[in-house]
Amino acid sequence: MWKGEYSVGLAKTFPEKNFIGIDIKGARFWFGAKEAVENNMNNVAFLRTQIELVDYFFAENEVDEIWITFPDPQIKYKRTKHRLTHPDFLNRYKKFLKPGGIIHLKTDSEFLHGYTLGYLQGQDMKLYQPITTSMEHPNMIRTRNI
């Protein structure tokens, strides 16, 4: 289960950048938030909200990068629209992602990786460092906002 450690880890690695972890369940990032407060980390925060509302929290062209880390792949067909890489979500991200901004996807789901890669290639989106398949390096896709 995600506990905010990825956002905290990025914030430690890149202290000159700001990071915001988002989840509907606050308990999922409680440990990360606690660590950030205890260590006076001013470049990491957590937002408890439905992901469908994410575009209401950021201004146009405000975000440099989006990291989607190990999301639920939503394998059932009727859950397609809930995939965080579904076209509806990608269009939502474009509202606040800067031109040239990057979307990172890290997943251990071959299904989600293939679905997302297929969609992006069909849209002629530029891919960076795509595709590794071992568990040491989970499937990763990077695409640039154009």
For residue 144, the cross-strand partners are 102
Using only C-alpha atoms, the chain has a radius of gyration, in whole angstroms, of 15
- For residue 107, give both structure tokens: 């997943």
What token pair was written down for 110? Answer: 């071959």
- Is 72 designated active site? yes
The strand order across the sheet containing 97-107 reads 63-69, 97-107, 139-144, 127-128
Find tokens 């059932």 and name the residue.
Answer: 76
**Phi first, then psi: what are they for 19, rounded to 5°?**
-135, 140
Q: Which of 23, 55, 64, 72 is catalytic?
A: 72
- Tokens 């579904």 correspond to 86
The residue among 140, 15, 130 whose CA lies nearest residue 67 is: 140
Tokens of 129: 């460092």
- Which of the residues are catalytic? 72
